[in-house]
Structure 1
Amino acid sequence: MLSMLEYIKTILQKVSFDKGLFEKELAKAIKLLIPDEVKQLRRWCYAQFGKIYRVVLNRCFSRASFT
């Protein structure tokens, strides 16, 4: 069975064609995950989408709390 983190990665890849949808799904994902998973997602997102969605990633992850 897929972990929530892996499922979210799949969703983000599928919606990455649309900036607005990508940002909406990423914001939702950040709320669902535990802080350690958010850190993993952050690393993965910057590796995968850093070139095209850096502004979106910066905005979404700056709101995330890593406590």
Structure 2
Amino acid sequence: MNKILTFHSNNEKPKTDCKNKIALLYNPCDGYHLAEWISFNDNDEFEGFYSFKGNRFSDNFYTLWAILPDFLEN
């Protein structure tokens, strides 16, 4: 099964349909990172990507991001 990832620049913010999804972040210095939590505030505005440890990835840490397909989340 093939899936296509759509990468977005770091100035494009995820929409609320990305809640409960896992994102793949790209950093040109050290490669790819998983963001296992995508945070939105009470007004459904994007707040940030977080690692499984709960550490926030700063906006200038990554240059690209993509939402992983659902079948990879399980």
Task: State the TM-score, normalizing by the size of structure 2.
Answer: 0.25
Structure with the higher strand share, 1 or 2: 2
| Structure exhibiting the larger radius of gyration computed from Cα positions | 2
